[in-house]
Structures are given as structure tokens and as C-alpha cells.
Amino acid sequence: MTSETSTNEANASAELEQFKDVQGRIDRVAEDIRSGQCRYAVLDALRLAELFDVDLDDWDTYFVYEYLASPDNDVSCHPFAENATLLEDHVSPERYEVLINLTEAIEEDPSKKDIALTEEEEKLLRAAYHLANNTGEGVTVYQKTVLATNGTELIFEITDSDAWSPYEVDKGEGFDPGERFVPGDESLEGLLCIL
């Protein structure tokens, strides 16, 4: 941390501490975000929560994300062929028979390429694979919301290893599940919308 950054943080913190009531601090930050000035964005989530007298262990809501189980993660040259049986209830009997025949041909000659799936079949296989193989491990994202007098919600996001301030959440820079996580307890249909 540079001395300039440290000074900026100290100044921002001192400026908010001038408000003796917590609601005044919350209202000032809400206005700062609304105006786009972001003067207090230099304060990390933990310091801002402290200034708001917010206990981040007393969260309002939470979302559970599981690590996405993927056939690509297996040490296999033929992830689709090795998991083609997962498509049995999701493709026509005729198509399933073709896939099984292709899979058997690969088992006889492992130098062959993996089976080719349609885009929809690949999504189905990936979703079915996740449902069959997920470990339930992942991350829980907790949210704590404070309300400004004007009704603006300031949202903190917290995980076991990170925290995001209302500035970051407002800009869409909070927790990002990306391609590694999917919401926990998703159905096959829900996974198909995500994958």
C-alpha cells in the first residue's frame, strides 16, 4: 500500500467519522455512490462495515454455489463417450443406441476421437454429469444490506475468503461465479439455462 493510498483511506475514514450518527454515514455513502463521485470507495468492505456499525456475521441472505463438476475435469481422452449413459433418459432411444455403439467402438479402439454430440446433447450431458458427480463443495456468499434514509440499499457481499463493499457490488464487481460455480440445488432444467 502506498502512502498516498493510506492517506486517502485515512481521509475518507475521518470524513465519514465526522458524522456522529451511523445513519448519516450510510446516507453520505449512498449519495456518494449515486453521484458517481465514489470518494469513499478507497475504504475496503470491512472498514466501511465498521463505520456503519454493521456486523458482517449477521447477514440477511445467502446464496450457495457449488463447484461445477465437469466431465472435462476427468483424466480422460473421451469424456463424452465415458459418460454417454447419462443421456439415456434425455435423447431418443435411436440416438442413444447410436451413442452407445460409438462408445463401444472407442472402447475397442481408444485411438479414436471422442463421440460428437450436438450442442443440446453436450449441455444435457454436462448438466447430468454435474448432478451425478457434484460433491456439494463450493462457496457460500452472504449478503448484508443497510438502508439509506432515501431507500437506497447498500449491499455488502462476504465469503469465507473475501468481502466486497457496496461500491464494488453496485458496479457488479461482487462475487462472480463465472464458469467454476453453479447455484446449489439446481435441477437439470435449471442447469441447462446456466450452461
Distance of CA 4 to the CA centre of its chain: 33
Note the pLDDT of residue 29: 96
**Strand runs labelled E in 104-172:** 138-147, 153-158, 163-164
Note the pLDDT of residue 37: 93
**Residues near 17 by Cβ (< 8 Å), separated by ≥ 6?**
25, 51
Note the pLDDT of residue 190: 73
Residue 74: pLDDT band (50, 70, 90) is low
Percent of the chain whose predicted confidence (pLDDT) is above 70: 94
Nearest C-alpha neighbor of 84 from the set 15, 76, 162 = 76
Instruction: Tell me the pLDDT tens digit for each residue of 1-27.
Output: 556 667 888 899 999 999 999 999 999
Could you tell me which residue, 144 or 160, shows the higher pLDDT? 144
Instruction: Tell me the pLDDT tens digit for each residue of 31-73.
Output: 999 999 999 999 999 999 999 999 878 888 888 888 888 888 7
Note the pLDDT of residue 35: 94
- Provide mean pLDDT across the span 76-93: 92
Tell whether pTM > 0.85.
Answer: no
**Distances 134 to 68, 114, 122 between C-alpha atoms, Å:** 7, 23, 17
Residue 165: pLDDT band (50, 70, 90) is very high
Q: What does the mean pLDDT of the chain come to?
A: 88
